[in-house]
Structure 1
Amino acid sequence: MPSPTDIAAAARGWVGTPYRHRAAARGAGADCLGLICGLWHEFYGTVPEILPPYSPDWSEASGQEFLWDGLARHLRAKPLDDAAPGDVILMRMREAGIAKHVGVQTETGPEGRFVHAYFGHGVVESALSLPWRRRIVARFEFPDRRV
């Protein structure tokens, strides 16, 4: 089973992948959810759920937390203050909006970092600066089991 450091290292292997909405192919294209699906595929095989078509503003009109609910179905929730490399972090981009950005934490502490697919930038590793940390609303870890 993948260790947290295996997951963080694999996420870093996606850096440089161009941003492509609804894609999940390392080196060819990914969005933030595609990055997580791609990592799942690397470690476990087929993704556990077929994703329905979604738009960049998905579920904003309804206010439903589709991404949060989906992550909770397949990953293990963790306390927000229990940060570790390899964690999947879920972010709310606007205070009153739904949580719709996700990444993988690669470093913890004051020099915290995360890998995410960011529109206009592709898959990048960014400092987990205070403006990013304030957006985190949930933290998950990949399960210990094979699917």
Structure 2
Amino acid sequence: MRGADVVAEARRWIGTPYVHQASVRGAGTDCLGLLRGVWRAVCGAEPEAAPPYTPDWSEPAGDEVLMAACRRWLVAKPLQDAAAGDVLLFRMRPEAVAKHLGIQAEVGPEAGFIHAFSGHGVIESPLSEPWARRIAARFAFPERTV
């Protein structure tokens, strides 16, 4: 049931405008804020506060800040082990840090994911080849903590 719960909650956020560093369903969110909001709904309180970050966060230093946070709080999975509700971490350019997040909504031939994208807000997109080849890591939500 966990994957279905994650997808259902993520879909509740569709239409939320893109607002950098925000995490309020219906008012504004970015990709990390979407993940934080879904976490609050399916797992409980956030395990750590998100520090302030710029749109190019961690790029100048080349630090995998988002990857490290995902490894601390989510359950790593093999890339090929796709399931609805998985958290996808994307590397937007080869050799760049991974810094975009989405939630897998569908698997198989109609694979799709939900994400907050600048200029679009929270949308559900096909997990087309251009997106799929950018997946740097796949994670599952942990068991409920509350």
Q: TM-score range with shorter-chain normalisation?
A: over 0.9
What letter is aligned with 1:95? Answer: P
Q: Supply the distance in 1 between the matched residues of 2:145 and 2:46 (Cα, whole angstroms).
A: 11
Q: Supply the distance in 2 between the matched residues of 1:118 and 1:24 (Cα, whole angstroms).
A: 13
The equivalent residue for 1:109 is 108
Q: Supply the distance in 1 between the matched residues of 2:135 and 2:113 (Cα, whole angstroms).
A: 12
Q: TM-score, normalised by structure 1?
A: 0.97
Q: Supply the distance in 1 between the matched residues of 2:43 and 2:84 (Cα, whole angstroms).
A: 19
Q: Supply the distance in 1 between the matched residues of 2:144 and 2:116 (Cα, whole angstroms).
A: 26
**After superposition, where does 1:1-16 map in structure 2 within 5 Å?**
3-16=2-15
Q: Supply the distance in 1 between the matched residues of 2:122 and 2:144 (Cα, whole angstroms).
A: 27
Residue 44 of structure 1 deviates from its aligned partner by 2.4
- Structure 2 stretches lacking a partner, 5+ long: none
What letter is aligned with 2:105? Answer: T
Q: Is the 8 A contact 2:91 2:136 kept in 1?
A: yes
Deviations 1:56-93 (CA, angstroms, capped at 9, x unpaired):
00000000000000011000000000000000000000
Residue 144 of structure 1 deviates from its aligned partner by 1.2
Residue 145 of structure 1 deviates from its aligned partner by 3.5
Deviating runs (4+, > 2 A) in structure 1? Answer: none
The equivalent residue for 1:125 is 124
Q: TM-score, normalised by structure 2?
A: 0.97
The equivalent residue for 2:95 is 96
**Coordinate RMSD, CA, aligned:** 0.9
Q: Supply the distance in 1 between the matched residues of 2:10 and 2:26 (Cα, whole angstroms).
A: 12
Deviations 1:91-136 (CA, angstroms, capped at 9, x unpaired):
0001121000000000001210000000000000000000000000
Q: Supply the distance in 1 between the matched residues of 2:12 and 2:114 (Cα, whole angstroms).
A: 10
Residue 45 of structure 1 deviates from its aligned partner by 2.4
Q: Is the 8 A contact 2:44 2:144 kept in 1?
A: no
The equivalent residue for 1:49 is 48
**After superposition, where does 1:62-81 map in structure 2 within 5 Å?**
62-81=61-80
Q: Supply the distance in 1 between the matched residues of 2:44 and 2:86 (Cα, whole angstroms).
A: 19
Given the alignment of the two structures, is residue 87 of structure 1 paired with residue 108 of structure 2, yes or no?
no
